[in-house]
């Protein structure tokens, strides 16, 4: 990796998968997390860095951008980009791109899978069989029906609408909350998460993360959801007050929860580990071979478009 190379220099800020790293390395001089591994070497190449590449959980703060005087763009492989200081980027007219659209189906599929898993107690049933308890103790306690139940969706963007379309196949009634009502959709709109939670059996959270939605799902919302209600989070861990959720589960304030994201990943509250009415997955909503490859391709194509002087494919909404 030569500092004198004519190829654009790129800094990666996360451990990226081979199917993203390989096309990056084929076209660019890639400095893989050099700011973390060798600050002295990073200081020498920082003036050459023209782009930053990262994943959905990556941190790209103002302090890092300030060290990159030649920075031209930030490409994120993920739909979420709340770790990027977008305001700092916009001040310097540095576009930020992400990879929406290509992961809608996968996240929606997992949201429905988590809802079914916690309601029908599928992971618990699996453990029940493996432990030999079926033969010793007989049938498991009865579970909760999903078909025909009331679903509330917090955030009815592209993924939220994909969840809703799947839920329709289960005969569920659908309501939602968000920043604004969507007049073109027939679903019932509620002005707040608390108002929505009071009217549904299952509450799926798929709103963006960031300061504006931090702890949007709090103790009051969980109380409104009630002792027969279930929470499913496929958004960001920051959207749910995890301490309040643990308390609500321990006290029977809600019936159960299924979580793909957590406040302090990869360290969910250990209190959640021992609960039979909780399903936990390791932030894997988009984690299929097909979708991650599509996300990587889009992240690379955004970079290529930028360096070719062409329109970006998927800049973040703030850039429009």
Known catalytic residues are 236, 265, 283
- CA end-to-end span of the chain, whole Å? 35
The DSSP code for 202 is E
Which residues are registered as beta bridge partners of 73? 51
* Helix ranges restricted to H, the chain: 18-27, 34-37, 39-45, 62-66, 86-91, 104-120, 122-130, 133-137, 158-168, 193-197, 219-225, 242-250, 289-307
What gap in Å lies between CA 317 and CA 97, rounded to an integer?
A: 9
Is residue 76 within 8 A of residue 58, CB to CB? The reply is: yes
The DSSP code for 31 is E
Helix axes 104-120, 158-168, angle to 10 degrees: 50
What gap in Å lies between CA 297 and CA 286, rounded to an integer?
A: 14
The distance from CA 198 to its chain's CA centroid, rounded to whole angstroms, is 25
């Amino acid at each position: 990796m030569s500092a004198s190379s004519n190829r654009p220099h790129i800094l990666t800020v996360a451990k990226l998968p081979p199917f993203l790293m390989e096309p990056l390395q084929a076209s660019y001089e890639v400095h893989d997390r050099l700011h973390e591994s060798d600050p002295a070497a990073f200081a020498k190449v920082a003036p050459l860095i023209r782009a930053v590449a990262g994943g959905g959980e990556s941190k790209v703060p103002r302090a890092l951008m300030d060290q990159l005087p030649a920075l031209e763009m930030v490409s994120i492989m993920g739909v979420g980009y709340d770790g990027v200081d977008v305001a700092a980027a916009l001040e310097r007219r540095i576009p930020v791109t992400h990879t929406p659209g290509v992961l809608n189906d996968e996240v929606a599929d997992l949201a429905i899978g988590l809802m079914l898993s916690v309601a029908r107690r599928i992971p618990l049933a699996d453990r029940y069989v493996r432990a030999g308890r079926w033969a010793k103790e007989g049938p498991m306690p009865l579970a909760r029906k999903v078909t025909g139940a009331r679903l509330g969706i917090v955030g009815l963007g592209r993924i939220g609408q994909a969840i809703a379309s799947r839920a329709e196949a289960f005969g569920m009634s659908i309501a939602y909350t968000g920043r604004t009502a969507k007049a073109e959709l027939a679903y019932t709109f509620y002005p707040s998460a608390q108002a929505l939670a009071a009217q549904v059996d299952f509450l799926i959270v798929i709103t963006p993360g960031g300061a504006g939605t931090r702890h949007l799902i709090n103790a009051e919302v969980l109380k409104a959801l009630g002792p027969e209600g279930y929470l499913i989070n496929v958004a960001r861990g920051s959207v749910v007050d995890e301490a309040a959720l643990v308390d609500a589960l321990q006290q029977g304030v809600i019936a159960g929860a299924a979580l793909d994201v957590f406040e302090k990943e990869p360290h969910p509250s250990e209190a959640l580990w021992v609960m039979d009415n909780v399903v936990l997955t390791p932030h894997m909503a988009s984690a299929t071979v097909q979708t991650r490859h599509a996300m990587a391709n889009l992240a690379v194509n955004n970079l290529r478009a930028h360096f070719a002087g062409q329109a970006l494919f998927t800049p973040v909404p703030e850039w429009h």
